[in-house]
Chain A
Amino acid sequence: MYDAPKVILGIIVFLLLFTSPLWINIFGGQTSVKPNIQLPKDANECVYPTEYMKNYHMDLLNDWRDKVVRDNQRFLLKNGNFVDFRGKKMEMSLSHTCMKCHNNKSQFCDQCHNYLSVNPYCWDCHVAPKEGMK
């Protein structure tokens, strides 16, 4: 092989650059962007346990949407009775229930969605609560 030292050096530099994100993460301490979720301060219960909501909130919202829009069932029923949530009948609504506690879209929804690069189209139509009131 001609110019072996130069070629090998070149390959090593290339590999280092190519894998640089890994080294920066390992030696630089933290990843540059990480979801930083702000939980609502004045609420300590959600409609379902946190673990379930983390994994399945999208399925829940789809299910709620179908029940409300197609079956004309606005409030959650369990064994024929309305489910109580924070002193009121639980309404299956993104704007009227979820966003009443999680009232900051950019500090809650967007944190993970941006990190994972998912773009749900909820907000093309549904109106997010106004931010910057605090």
Chain B
Amino acid sequence: MNINRRNFLKIVSVGGVVGVATKMTFDAISDTGHSKLDDGRLKAKRWAMVIDVNKCEQQGDCKLCIEACHKTHNVPDIKNPKDEIKWIWKEKFHNAFITQENEHLPRNINDNNVLLLCNHCSNPPCTNVCPTKATWKREEDGIVMMDWHRCIGCRYCVAACPYGSRSFNWMDPRPFINDITEDFPTRTKGVVEKCTFCDERLVRGMFPACVEACPAKALAFGDLDNPDSEVRKLLQDNFSIRRKPELGTKPEVYYLI
């Protein structure tokens, strides 16, 4: 076929229109928040959590999220606080937000219990100091991951984390696990552990265990990069704070006070 100038321009312009339309369609489809891929996994660009402290406080002494997490992940129950292992725990507001300098905060706020866990910082200091890359920031969804096979127990990350989110196994944890969950490994002596935003559940299409366990729906989880996600809406409608933002770690766990 002999292509003259006129036909060439026709073909090129039609091709261009089709290309742009396809791109727009794909963008529209992929813009619906955390998406479920065809293999059933939940995917997001930046996982984040929003914790409503008041909703949580109204449940009183409820520890369902902590119990769910620690049961799912075989976290040992060591009573001695020097050796204890924790992935998610409660702390008084004035201890959790130690740099809130204002005196005479309302009593109900200051005495509230706040849920604490790994902040999955956007700029995590713990991963930078790891000599074996046993912990690293997963680029695809922002989770601060742990590879317990690779941890040599140097505890640099424990020292680097400004939130106390990392625990070290000073002893074999197995005797301290009452009812072992076979689906998840335990850790061993000499290994650091912490919350991983339930990466093993996300990959099976489930939300983190603590989020699912909360009867008050005080924990919201979603993609911070998606303006339509639940976490983004909560952050837009409410005033939120993060722990020690002045350190520049950019925590991805937000608190509604």
A→B interface (CB under 8 Å): 65, 69-70, 72, 74-75, 82, 89, 95-96, 121, 124-127, 129-130
B83 CB → nearest A CB, Å = 18
A125: contacting residue among B39, B140, B148, CB under 8 A: B148
A80 CB → nearest B CB, Å = 11
Q: A65-B149, A69-B147 are in contact. Are A125 and B187 (CB under 8 A)?
A: yes
Say whether B39 contacts A129, CB under 8 Å. Answer: no
> Which secondary structure characterizes the binding site on chain B?
loop
5 pairs of A and B residues whose beta carbons are closest in the complex: A125-B185, A124-B188, A127-B182, A126-B185, A69-B147
Q: A69-B149, A127-B180 are in contact. Are A82 and B39 (CB under 8 A)?
A: yes
B183 at interface by CB-CB < 8 Å: yes
Q: Which residue of B lies closest to A77 (CB)?
A: B39
Q: Considering the chains assembled together, what is the distance between the CA atoms of A75 and B148 in angstroms?
A: 20
B67 at interface by CB-CB < 8 Å: no
Q: Considering the chains assembled together, what is the distance between the CA atoms of A113 and B22 in angstroms?
A: 56
Between A70, A96, A127, the greatest number of chain B beta carbons within 10 A of the residue's beta carbon is seen for A127
A124 CB → nearest B CB, Å = 4
Q: Considering the chains assembled together, what is the distance between the CA atoms of A82 and B203 in angstroms?
A: 15
B110 at interface by CB-CB < 8 Å: no
B186 at interface by CB-CB < 8 Å: yes
Chain B: number of interface residues, binned into ranges: 20 to 34
| Contacting residues, chain B, for A127 (C-beta < 8 A) | 74, 180-182, 184-186
| Contacting residues, chain B, for A82 (C-beta < 8 A) | 39
Q: Which residue of B lies closest to A94 (CB)?
A: B185
Could you show 18 A-B contacts with beta carbons less than 8 Å apart? A69-B147, A69-B149, A72-B199, A72-B203, A74-B203, A75-B39, A82-B39, A95-B183, A95-B185, A96-B183, A121-B188, A124-B188, A125-B148, A125-B185, A125-B187, A127-B180, A127-B182, A127-B185
Per-residue CB contact flags for chain B residues 130-156 toward chain A (1 = under 8 Å, else 0) read 000000001010000101110000000
Say whether A95 contacts B187, CB under 8 Å. Answer: no
| Contacting residues, chain B, for A121 (C-beta < 8 A) | 188
Q: A72-B138, A72-B203 are in contact. Are A125 and B186 (CB under 8 A)?
A: yes
Q: Which residue of B lies closest to A127 (CB)?
A: B182
B118 CB → nearest A CB, Å = 17
| Contacting residues, chain A, for B140 (C-beta < 8 A) | 72
Q: Considering the chains assembled together, what is the distance between the CA atoms of A74 and B39 in angstroms?
A: 10
Q: Which residue of B lies closest to A75 (CB)?
A: B39
| Contacting residues, chain A, for B74 (C-beta < 8 A) | 127
Q: Which residue of A lies closest to B40 (CB)?
A: A89
